[in-house]
A and B are shown apart, each in its own frame.
Chain A
Amino acid sequence: MSERDFHPLVKQLLDGELTIADLPAELRAEGEEALRLLTGVDRSPVELPAVTRRVMQTLASRPAPAVPAWKRVMRPREIRLRIRPWVLAPALAIAAALILLIWPATPARPAPLVTVRFVLVAPDAREVSLAGTFNQWDAHATPLVRSGSTGVWTATLTLPAGQHQYAFVVDGARWVPDPGAPAVDDGFGRRNSVLTL
């Protein structure tokens, strides 16, 4: 222990475990030096009012919080198949739609992400896309891919748990709810499909 170090009892004084009166006489001076050191501690509160506006401005254009990549690797536990035949005017030639839900294996809490496959059978369509609350209702953001000549269009998305509304957009102009899903009024005279994950 160098002579420049505080005596252990003085350190206990600094820690608040002793008072100056507890120190032996020969350490009183050192104790007072130590307490003088502490008078330089600045405890005045610090306020940062500009932080709120600056943080919210930065966040305005930031992508949504991302779930880490490792959480996306999930083993399927159950596969639920819901098929409801849909009878429509033959001109549209849209026969049925399927939703394949791959439920992740998780313990007590619901998983943050679920993989959902959207399928629409539309042999006469030139293009089909998916628009909903998960992609700002952008009719161009999520095109479905046609497989071969059977007229089956599919897209697979990984969506956060929660409630989503969506519809298919056929040939860029016709908004079609999913025949295999529950539907609600969209407020514009049409129906939206509901996905509750």
Chain B
Amino acid sequence: MLTLLALPLTLLGLQQGMAQRLAGRVSPTVAALVEQLGTTGAARGLPIDPLIQKAIEGSAKSIPDDRVAAAVRLVATQLDTAATALREGGPVSDTLAIAAGAFAINAGLSGSDITALARVGASPQALTVGLRVAGTLAALGVPRAENIGLVSTTLRSGQPAESLLLLPAHVQSAMANGITPAAAAAGLSRAAAAQARHGPPPGRGQPPPHPAPPPHP
């Protein structure tokens, strides 16, 4: 149990860990900012890894310090928004879920979308996967309503995480066949809802039909 006396030692460990991961990969200015945001964030239960990753990414892409700092601050804000949104949906403190929520927000979803998924009441692991998949579907162009509808229906159906992870591939297959992202997601929602009511259709576990390869350019 973390007592007030023990907390500084844990933070010392955190800071040393962060410093080691950033050393030689980012400028001292950026490192100092990440350590500051990371330490205060960690004390509030927020993950540190997304901040470190963004800083390392910016430096690797030769982005000037002030823009890397801005991007890192943005990630910190997204983590805060995600954490708040998750809390409103239930007592969720899983740092992986918070990171997944921040990813979903970056992909275009809103705090209320995150809360809606949290309210489904799935386990922290399932919710984390659901948030990652929702962000990925948003990145594919699935509109928010169809996106959250599909992911929450799948979460509620209690299927294993693999079902969630296959959703983006299904949507991409449909899109390669000329179906819009919204229609693809809506179709998958209906299938998931039907499955929840009636059980799996025959032939469950088969991959969706492969799209025909496009003509070689």
- Annotate B125-139 by CB proximity to A: 1 below 8 A, 0 otherwise: 000010011011101
> Do A131 and B60 touch (CB < 8 A)?
yes
Closest chain A residue to B161 by CB distance?
A110
> Do A96 and B173 touch (CB < 8 A)?
no
When chains A and B are docked, how far (Å) is the Cα of A187 from the Cα of B77?
13
Known A85-B214, A108-B160; contact A163-B100, beta-carbon cutoff 8 A: yes
> Do B71 and A84 touch (CB < 8 A)?
no
When chains A and B are docked, how far (Å) is the Cα of A84 from the Cα of B136?
16
When chains A and B are docked, how far (Å) is the Cα of A197 from the Cα of B132?
9
Q: Which of B13, B132, B172 contacts A84 (CB 8 A)?
A: B172
Q: Which residues of A contact B216 (CB under 8 A)?
A: 95
Q: Which residues of B contact A80 (CB under 8 A)?
A: 169, 207
In A179-197, which residues have CB < 8 Å from any B CB?
182-188, 190, 192, 194, 196-197
> Do A52 and B165 touch (CB < 8 A)?
no
Residue among B56, B129, B132, B217 with max Cβ neighbours from chain A (10 Å):
B217
Q: Which residues of A contact B119 (CB under 8 A)?
A: none
Q: Which residues of A contact B58 (CB under 8 A)?
A: 187-188
| Total A-B residue contacts, Cβ distance less than 8 Å | 117
B: number of interface residues (CB 8 Å): 53
Chain A proximity of B212: nearest CB distance (Å): 9
> Do B56 and A184 touch (CB < 8 A)?
no
Known A60-B16, A61-B20; contact A188-B71, beta-carbon cutoff 8 A: yes
Q: Which residues of A contact B57 (CB under 8 A)?
A: 133, 137, 165, 186, 188, 192
- Annotate B62-78 by CB proximity to A: 1 below 8 A, 0 otherwise: 01000110110011000
> Do A82 and B169 touch (CB < 8 A)?
yes
> Do A184 and B17 touch (CB < 8 A)?
no
Q: Using a CB–CB distance below 8 Å, which chain B residues touch chain A?
A: 9-10, 12-13, 16-17, 20, 25, 53-54, 56-61, 63, 67-68, 70-71, 74-75, 99-100, 103, 106-107, 129, 132-133, 135-137, 139-140, 160-162, 165, 168-169, 172-173, 175-176, 207, 210-211, 213-214, 216-217
Q: Using a CB–CB distance below 8 Å, which chain A residues touch chain B?
A: 49, 52-53, 55-57, 59-61, 78-85, 95-96, 101, 108-110, 131, 133, 136-139, 162-163, 165, 175, 182-188, 190, 192, 194, 196-197
